[in-house]
Amino acid sequence: MLKIRNVELSDLPAVVAIENLCFLKEEAATGEAFEKRIQQIPDSFFVAEEDGRIVGFVNGPVISQPFITDDLFTEIRQNSATGGHQCILRIAVEPTSKNRGIAAALLAHLENSARAKQRETITLTCKKQLISFYEKQGYTNEGASESEHGGVTWYNMVKRLII
């Protein structure tokens, strides 16, 4: 059975392992970056666990603007209690657990948390091949991002929570 919960520092090795399985070296966050996120934004960093094993995660800080900027990958501040835009810096599911609804469950969990804290939107960037997945989850493609993270073309995806 899938359990989604807030991250704990003891989850760091599993999170880093999944990150390295899912992303190219140029795109992957470091263990130090994840440690900072666990310490600074545990209220918007969730892990998916099956039978006591971490199989995926989602995380990102609350920001004041509706789109992600590259500085967020290195500079994390604690989240405001309410308002703002919930961004997703990373969502990842280990390859052997993909296509089982885990990413959608993580997104739904983060969305419920963001709604409870009156966030305006959830915002993320993704590669072209993932646009349709996020559209099925209720996100709108807002076009190419200015992000140059990892030397890849990213697309801004936004889900409005407050209308």
Give the separation between CA 125 and CA 14, rounded to whole angstroms. 23
Question: What letter would DSSP give residue 24?
Answer: -
Q: Where are the beta strands (DSSP E) in 51-163?
A: 53-59, 62-63, 85-88, 90-93, 121-126, 140-144, 155-160
Dihedrals φ, ψ of 112, to 5°? -60, -45
| pLDDT value for 163 | 65
Query: Can you tell me the distance from the alpha carbon of 137 to that of 128, in angstroms, rounded to the nearest whole number?
Result: 15
Domain residue ranges in the chain: 2-124
List average pLDDT for each run of 10 residues in the chain, which is 163 residues long. Answer: 96 97 89 94 97 96 85 82 94 95 96 96 94 95 86 91 80
Strand boundaries in the chain, DSSP class E? 2-6, 45-50, 53-59, 62-63, 85-88, 90-93, 121-126, 140-144, 155-160
Question: Domain 2-124's class?
Answer: alpha beta
CB 156 within 8 Å of CB 144: yes
Could you give the 3-state DSSP secondary structure of residue 35? helix
- pTM for this prediction: 0.92
